[in-house]
Amino acid sequence: MHEIDYMSEKLYPRIGVGVIIKKEGRILMGLRKGSHGKGTWSFPGGHLEFNETFESCARREVKEETGLAVRETNFVTATNDIMAADGKHYVTIFIEALVDDGEPSVCEPDCCERWEWFYPDKMPNDLFLPIINLIKSGYNF
């Protein structure tokens, strides 16, 4: 667990964008590595950059991580994700997206081990905290 001195500096949550890509009733998820949440399954996504819209962030991150091109987006919800053990706090914006045909590639091998398609009722057990919070919020895949 990381010790944080909350009195020495003002800390703020970071903004993440998670992209829910659906295809033929399945959802795209990647096995995280090299950062917080290592060993858990997550959607493509990343940090919202300054002056970037949620939708443009979703398009950029999906392309950078999977090589897939997003053609349509839809805002879903946001979750408040406190990862005390990692000393992190995120607000995660979830976007549903449709992509052009094709299969995902591991374009950032330092961040993702592999991409797989899962049926919503057969998702892996080791989910990244923002996805756990998304499910707890009542999101229906």
Q: What pLDDT was estimated at residue 10?
A: 79
Query: 47, 14 in Cβ contact below 8 A?
Result: yes
Secondary structure, 3-state, the chain: CCCCCCCCCCCCCEEEEEEEEEECCEEEEEEECCCCCCCCEECCEEECCCCCCHHHHHHHHHHHHHCCCEEEEEEEEEEEEEEHHHCEEEEEEEEEEEECCCCCCCCCCCCEEEEEEECHHHCCCCECHHHHHHHHCCCCC
Confidence (pLDDT) at 5: 53
C-alpha count within 13 angstroms, C-beta hemisphere, residue 34: 8
Q: What is the pLDDT of residue 138?
A: 96
Q: Does the reported pTM lie above 0.85?
A: yes
- The values of phi and psi at residue 120, to 5°, are -55, -35
Per-residue pLDDT of the chain (141 residues; tens, 9 = 90+): 455 555 556 789 999 999 999 999 999 999 999 778 999 999 999 999 999 999 999 999 999 999 999 999 999 999 999 999 889 999 999 999 999 889 999 999 999 999 999 999 999 999 999 999 999 999 999
CATH architecture of the domain 14-136 equals Alpha-Beta Complex (3.90)
